[in-house]
Amino acid sequence: MSVVLERFAAIGIDAPGLVALLGSHSVGRTHCVKLVHRLYPEVDPALNPDHVPHMLHKCPDAIPDPKAVQYVRNDRGTPMVLDNNYYRNILDNKGLMMVDHQLATDKRTRPYVKKMAKSQDYFFKEFSRAITLLSENNPLTGTKGEIRKVCNLANKLHDKS
């Protein structure tokens, strides 16, 4: 968590801003290759034991097939809604990635996690502030940047197919 806090601080984003930005984990999914280390060879004892069977069902292999689309939804309750349910989940040890767990347990970030879990308005306020700072930080322009047609592929790779 120290490295994450330092990197964001270097671009002017404070702890509440970082906590809010990681709230974007509320939407979407995490591919099994990014979380199997928390399941195999031993289940991470920090995970909520009620959540583990679902994770194991979705990620049944210690070494997932890289061509398979195996994933776990980041937020099973409201998977396609940006909301503060993420914070309630990570306080209940249901965060998928290690950074989620650290966010909920680190003394520098936990107070903001708790506040955002209680107040969606506070989460939205901090998220808006932090995403504005992030978007204004060294944007690539002209030929140095691109708006991707497919988010996980550079256009030069996408256009070849």
List the CATH number of the domain containing 80.
1.10.420.10
120 φ/ψ angles, rounded to the nearest 5 degrees: -65, -35
Residues in the annotated binding site for Ca(2+): 75, 78, 83
Residues in the annotated binding site for heme b: 25
Residue whose tokens read 């700072």: 133
Domain-embedded: residue 110 = yes
Please count the structural domains in the chain.
1
Give the mean pLDDT of 58-87.
91
pLDDT more than 70, % of the chain: 97
Domain-embedded: residue 69 = no
pLDDT band at 40 (very low <50, low <70, confident <90, very high): very high
Domain-embedded: residue 33 = no
Domain-embedded: residue 62 = no
Q: What is the pTM of this model?
A: 0.84
- Degrees to nearest 5, angle at CA 12 with 148 and 115: 95
Q: Report the alpha-carbon distance of residue 2 to residue 18 in Å, rounded.
A: 12
Q: Report the alpha-carbon distance of residue 58 to residue 64 in Å, rounded.
A: 11
Whether 52 has a pLDDT exceeding 90, the answer reads yes
Structural domain span for residue 99: 1-28+74-157
DSSP one-letter code for 150: B
Domain-embedded: residue 51 = no
Domain-embedded: residue 34 = no
Give the mean pLDDT of 53-75.
91
User: What digits encode the pLDDT tens for the residues 73-132?
Assistant: 999 899 999 999 999 999 999 999 999 999 999 999 999 999 999 999 999 999 999 999
Q: Which of 9-23, 58-72, 88-102 has the lowest mean pLDDT?
A: 58-72
Domain-embedded: residue 48 = no
pLDDT more than 90, % of the chain: 76
Domain-embedded: residue 8 = yes
Q: Report the alpha-carbon distance of residue 160 to residue 85 in Å, rounded.
A: 39
Residues in the annotated binding site: 25, 75, 78, 83
Q: Which of 39-43, 81-85, 112-116, 156-160 has the lowest mean pLDDT?
A: 156-160
- Degrees to nearest 5, angle at CA 80 with 78 and 82: 80
